[in-house]
Structure 1
Amino acid sequence: MAASRLPPTFVHGFHDLAAVQRMKYRPLGRTGMIVSIVSLGASPLGNVYRKTNDDEAIQVVRTAIKKGINYIDTAAWYGHGRSEEVLGKALEGIPREAYYLATKACRYRPEVDQMFDFSAERTLRSIDQSLERLKIDYVDLLQVHDPEFAPSLKMVCEETIPTLQKIKEMGKCRFIGLTGYPMENFVKMVEGTSVQVDTALTYCHYSMNDTTLLDYMQFFEKRGIGVMSASPLSMGLLSNRGPPKWHPATQEIKETCRKAAEYCQSQGTDLSKLAMYFSLAEPSIPTTLVGTASLTNLQANIDVVTGSSLSPKEQEVSDYVMENFFKPLKKKDWENLEVDEYWAKMKKLGKAPPTS
């Protein structure tokens, strides 16, 4: 969508017209939603990465929408409802037609044996709790959160996704989505359910260190499924500060990213900036979710879309990093590591391991 055209979410008298005209938008699959190519991940509002200031977080949400970011993603899991609560406060007074809002069900608590629940009963209860926290009547998109942790994908296909269809028929969500890390699971779930799946959200699979998502775009596009990519910085891997301690990446990946960041610093540039430009430059991906509760970081993200491109020097460094650090990586992902650890802990608690 041309930058000069206004998206369906534009509200005269509310939006910053000039900012919205500079923003870029793309259609999200068959949904009819026209989304900004950079979208707002609300996990930081739940203090997932660090303790944040609620007043600034609320201002981030309001500023983002006014400046043309029209897609916001949260989950019951983020801060165990706190992200939705803060988001609900931030959205008060903002025209409902000015934004698209997505949340997730099935992942809830930090305790291992209470973390996931893919049952119909809990999913139905979850959407009501989310709507109450968000202070709205419906979400545009309701997603299954991390189905790779379910007892089986068969359960997700035969119980969880049909429950989302019931919620859709109740008018509490408009579209149905899947999330997760293992890419092949999306194929299995889409092909394993009779329910129409509208969107797919994955993370850390279209970034400088891992572009696996591109291998699956034809599958999604053929079925009209809108694709969302999250975490262009690979959950902190592509930054000077480095990833949080809980990051599941292998030591080889962490070490490679650390060396890449150091090389960028030696060249007078920032790996995070290069990573943002890299991810947002891919035209086949409708939107990229970037989580922030910082006004400074929000503006930096918007500038990647609406500002000038990388300098020749920055582009040279970016190309060098790709060729010499990331392309040589033999194993680019950490698939199954978290799932195996989860079920090992569940087994110690006497819980049955997955059946398939």
Structure 2
Amino acid sequence: MELRPLGQTGLKLSQLSFGASSLGQEFRSVDLNEALRSVRTALDLGMNFIDTSPYYGRGMSEVLLGVALRDVPRDKYLLGTKLGRYDGAHFDFSARRVVESVDISLHRMGVDYLDIMLCHDIEFVDMRQIIDETLPALRKVQQQGKVRFIGISGYPMNIFRYVLDQQPLDVVLSYNHYTLQNTMLADLLPYLQSKGVGVMNAAPFSARLLTRQPLPPWHKATPEVRAIAKQAADHCSSRGVDIAQLAVQFSIAHPGMTTCIVGSANPENVKKWVEWAGLPIDQQLLSEVQQILKPIHNWFYTEGRAENNDQIEVRTQK
């Protein structure tokens, strides 16, 4: 699988990376053996970076990764997790919790260091704390060798400019913002590149919106968005293609996005995604799908505090 450089870190990540949120049963109840096999399948097929968080399954994802990776040499994969978000409404970005969280994650996964540590979903808190307290504390942990590179993750585009205008970062992780339906991350890319930041994209399916699967109960897509996305999926089906295939191929095609993080607790899904990644994209079908999705292009929702979000156009309120 193609490897791409991650900003100025010196790391090279596979164009597809394994997202372990599914191991925390964020989308469905999982079979334990299947979940463990999905991790090993991803590694065997060349996905060299694994992304997780203590928030996924409230620790379950990290624990299962610790089991799955137990006999895998540490130099055979890159590992990233997050801190600050621990439950639906439980956020703690204090300097003390930074130190505790890193140590707990290391223990759960049975490793001596983490390649990447991200401040998780910072749009839910006063981001001044991230600048003044969280990142300085995380830099100290980095100096101790427990974490190699640090950054932030979250949903609104605003958060990346806010932080990078005041503090340097090694990496950022954005989700749902470089997909068939939403390409706002590409618009921000020149700014991120000017800061020398490594860019990781996640969630090419937009939490199943760009698949044939039912949406999870917590999905925020409006009726208009759901209907148009279904039109696009139906159109792909009429051409004998799963829209999820097109979604994966589109999200890995941009050379400025180092990797696209996608996860499943089903090893057969992982195999399918890697196969799709190796196939040429159908440019005609892509053009047709983008035309169908045009009325909802760059539709997004809000997360966290209002002041941390991007401005929503009137049409997105439908």
TM-score band w.r.t. shorter chain = over 0.9
Distance in 1 of aligned mates of 2:298 and 2:72: 45
Runs of 5+ unmatched residues, structure 2: 307-318
Q: Alignment partner for residue 184 of structure 2, among 209, 212, 227?
A: 212
Number of aligned residue pairs: 306
1:290-346 CA-to-partner distances (Å, cap 9, x unmatched) read 01111111111111223x324xxx5433211101x222326611134x545xxxxxx
Q: Specify the alignment match of 2:315 in structure 1.
A: none
Instruction: Report the TM-score when normalising by structure 1.
Output: 0.83
Q: Alignment partner for residue 101 of structure 1, among 79, 83, 88?
A: 79
Distance in 2 of aligned mates of 1:237 and 1:281: 19
What SS is found at the alignment partner of 2:152? strand
1:154-189 CA-to-partner distances (Å, cap 9, x unmatched) read 111111111111111121100011101111210111
The question of whether the paired residues in 2 share the 8 Å contact of 1:250 and 1:334 is answered with no
1:100-145 CA-to-partner distances (Å, cap 9, x unmatched) read 10000000023x3xx2111111221111111110011110011000
RMSD (CA atoms): 1.5
After superposition, residues 24-103 of structure 1 pair within 5 angstroms as: 24-103=2-81
Distance in 2 of aligned mates of 1:91 and 1:78: 17
Deviates more, 1:87-96 or 1:54-63: 54-63
What SS is found at the alignment partner of 1:108? strand
The question of whether the paired residues in 1 share the 8 Å contact of 2:83 and 2:119 is answered with yes
> What fraction of aligned residue pairs are identical, expressed as a percent?
40
The question of whether the paired residues in 1 share the 8 Å contact of 2:184 and 2:298 is answered with no
> Counterpart of 1:87 in structure 2: which amino acid?
L
Distance in 2 of aligned mates of 1:239 and 1:246: 16
Structure 2 residue 142 is the aligned partner of structure 1 residue 142? no
> Counterpart of 1:322 in structure 2: which amino acid?
Q
1:220 to partner: Cα distance: 1.3
Q: Specify the alignment match of 2:300 in structure 1.
A: 333
- Superposed structure 1 runs of 4+ greater than 4 Å apart: none
Instruction: Report the TM-score when normalising by structure 2.
Output: 0.92
1:65 to partner: Cα distance: 1.4
> Counterpart of 1:328 in structure 2: which amino acid?
P
Distance in 2 of aligned mates of 1:330 and 1:71: 29
The question of whether the paired residues in 2 share the 8 Å contact of 1:76 and 1:104 is answered with yes
Runs of 5+ unmatched residues, structure 1: 1-22, 341-356
Q: Which has the bigger relative contact order, CA under 8 A and spacing at least 6?
A: 2
After superposition, residues 305-316 of structure 1 pair within 5 angstroms as: 305-306=277-278, 308-310=279-281, 314-316=282-284
Distance in 2 of aligned mates of 1:78 and 1:226: 23
Q: Specify the alignment match of 1:322 in structure 2.
A: 290
What SS is found at the alignment partner of 1:59? helix
Q: Alignment partner for residue 210 of structure 2, among 215, 238, 246?
A: 238
Structure 2 residue 266 is the aligned partner of structure 1 residue 294? yes
What SS is found at the alignment partner of 1:192? coil
